[in-house]
Amino acid sequence: MAKREKKKLDIKRISRLKISLILSYAVIVIATVTLVSALAVAKTDTVLTNQVSTMVSSLNVQMKLNMDSYLSRMETIATLAFAEEEAYTYDATSADNDEYEALSTEKIISDKLYSLCIMENFVDYGIVYRNNHTVGKLSNGTITMLGDRLFQDLSGIVSRQRTKDGWATGFHDNFKRIYYVKQIHENALLVISFYASEFESVFDNPENLEGTKIRLINQNYDVIYSTENYEVGKQLPSDILERIQGQSSVTVIDEKYLVAINPCGDEWNVICSVPTEIILSEKNQMQLYIYMIGFLAALLAVGMGAFMSVKLAEPVTDIVSNLNTKAHVDQLTGILNKLSFEEYTANRLADALSFENHALILIDVDNFKGVNDTLGHACGDKVLADIGALMREVFPEADFLGRVGGDEFAVFMNSLPTGKEASYPDYVKSKCEELCEGFRHHYTGDDGNYKISASIGVAFSPEYGRTFPDLYAKADKALYFSKHRGKDTYTFFSHILAEQEVNQHENHSQTE
């Protein structure tokens, strides 16, 4: 009996020991898992904050570069006006001007300015003389706003003494327009302007990082452009201003905001900001999940902690990947955006060998405004998307395809003829014909009764240029001839074409 009782006692002691060991092991494992999970959450907080901080800083730098490139391109387009000698030598204020010669000269200058004006959505593209006489396109809005002070007030925009030019916004409290003025000589100013809404092609808000705001401000911290339209023309919000006032090229992060600022141009700054709570929101959502998985998978606690760290980092990877794609691709058509197309083309031309053949093709959609006005912008967007698909179908993958304006497209041809007997011009011609034919079969509207077509201009490299601006200017001239030949056709730029243009100007002068 005593032995039986002792045996029962030993069994109880063993059971208690087993329970004690299990409980001790459970406590150690739970404590270890809890500690590892807490460390994982803390590490994820740091890593995620650092990665998003780097991403926002990189985005801000990219927006600065995009803005500098955009302003530089506008200045380049402005200087194209000086291709005509009369544009920088003629003085409308001179008392020695012959009336007939003055009219003829102004006609030549005006034709040049109007041909350049179609390259972008310019509101103003003209020359203003000291006596307030104008040549080219000067909008009623600008003339009415400045009145008799037209030349005097525009002269005030010239702030860079070395280059005799300058940029202005908020001009006379009008933040809807951006002005660029370049002094031609002491009595003449070249003026271009466009709507600030054109900056939408420069700044792109990353959709995967909710709450990110991109702003362009001047030296007075007035908002020139914002992803929130209601902020334009107002002072930068105080909670952002107090974090960056007096600073440039800096990234600031605290418990409320992550803010990055970089200068662009001479007097403007690009600012990207995002609330800190949004950066960490996904980490907070995953915290409980980490602890639950840790307790259920005690033996894999360390591995699961590392796994969750990777899982939490995946959204940032997706954001960076999407930002890279959005920085290069037009979201509506699926082809390159304007900035990337120009960059890719310029780099390819710079690397091209002397014997390589290339072609720059500019495409303008005929009657597209009628699609938007008649059928609505939703239908217009579908037409643009279809055009992107048509271009991908017509041109090989090696070619660069880009959307360079609202209804303007471009192709830089890298591909070569497939047939041994086919010459390169014949190959380009076949692609232009195929593209025009694709447009001819495109109808819009519920009844398919609204027809669009394509006017195309082509310039070959190296024959007519080895740089993007040279090829673009010549392809644009060819496109201009296609438009005036009745649209729905293509024109190759040639020396003959250039001579025809000169002859047309001379004929106009003789007629007048």
> Quick count: other Cβ atoms within 10 Å of Cβ 322?
14
The per-residue DSSP string of 299-333 comes to GGHHHHHHHHHHHHHHHHHHHHHHHHHHHHB-TTT
Measuring CA to CA, how many Å separate 418 from each of 174, 424, 427, 428, 430?
Answer: 55, 10, 9, 12, 12
Residue with more model confidence, 496 or 429? 429
The answer to whether 437 and 417 are in contact (CB under 8 A) is no
pLDDT digits (tens, 9 = 90+) for 343-390: 999 999 999 888 899 999 999 998 888 888 888 888 889 889 999 999
Sheet of 165-171, strands arranged across: 134-137, 122-129, 188-195, 174-185, 165-171
CA–CA dist 38, 41 (Å, integer): 5
On average, the pLDDT of the chain sits at 81
State the pLDDT at residue 127: 93
Beta strands in 386-509 (DSSP E): 400-403, 408-413, 443-444, 450-451, 453-461, 489-492
Q: Enter the tokens of residue 381.
A: 């967007």
Considering the four listed CATH numbers 3.30.70.270, 3.30.70.100, 3.50.50.60, 3.20.20.70, the one that applies to the domain covering 338-511 is 3.30.70.270
Q: Enter the tokens of residue 280.
A: 């960490």
pLDDT digits (tens, 9 = 90+) for 117-126: 877 778 899 9
* In the chain, % of residues over pLDDT 90: 32
Residue with more model confidence, 435 or 281? 435
- Among 278-292, 381-395, 470-484, which is the least confidently predicted range? 278-292
CA–CA dist 260, 250 (Å, integer): 6
Mention every residue, 6+ apart, whose C-beta is less than 8 A from residue 4. none
The answer to whether 391 and 409 are in contact (CB under 8 A) is yes
CA–CA dist 358, 179 (Å, integer): 36
Region 254-271: mean pLDDT is 86
> Quick count: other Cβ atoms within 10 Å of Cβ 45?
16
Region 190-203: mean pLDDT is 87
Q: In the chain, what are the helix, strand and coil shares in percent, each to the nearest 5? A: 55, 20, 25
State the pLDDT at residue 491: 93
Measuring CA to CA, how many Å separate 273 from each of 42, 75, 198?
Answer: 23, 29, 21
Mention every residue, 6+ apart, whose C-beta is less than 8 A from residue 221. 235, 236, 241, 245
Predicted confidence band of residue 209 (pLDDT cuts 50, 70, 90): low
CA–CA dist 366, 485 (Å, integer): 13
Query: Angle CA(458)–CA(199)–CA(452) in degrees, nearest 5?
Result: 40
> Quick count: other Cβ atoms within 10 Å of Cβ 329?
16
CA–CA dist 236, 472 (Å, integer): 38
Residue 340's DSSP bridge partners are none
Residue with more model confidence, 505 or 6? 505
Taking each helix axis as running N to C, give the angle between helix 495-511 and helix 99-117, from 0 to 180 degrees, rounded to the nearest 10.
Answer: 140
Region 297-314: mean pLDDT is 50
CA–CA dist 374, 446 (Å, integer): 12
pLDDT digits (tens, 9 = 90+) for 338-347: 999 999 999 9
Residue 317's DSSP bridge partners are none
**Is the confidence at residue 262, as pLDDT, over 60?**
yes
State the pLDDT at residue 433: 94
State the pLDDT at residue 443: 76
**Is the confidence at residue 511, as pLDDT, over 50?**
no
Residue with more model confidence, 435 or 67? 435
Domain segments of the chain: what residues?
Answer: 34-322, 338-511
Query: Angle CA(390)–CA(347)–CA(117) in degrees, nearest 5?
Result: 65
Of 12-21, 321-330, 375-384, 498-507, which has the strongest mean pLDDT? 375-384
Residue with tokens 């602890």: 291
* In the chain, % of residues over pLDDT 70: 76
State the pLDDT at residue 63: 84
Mention every residue, 6+ apart, whose C-beta is less than 8 A from residue 30. 295, 298
pLDDT digits (tens, 9 = 90+) for 48-65: 667 777 777 787 888 888
**Is the confidence at residue 15, as pLDDT, over 60?**
no
The answer to whether 258 and 52 are in contact (CB under 8 A) is yes
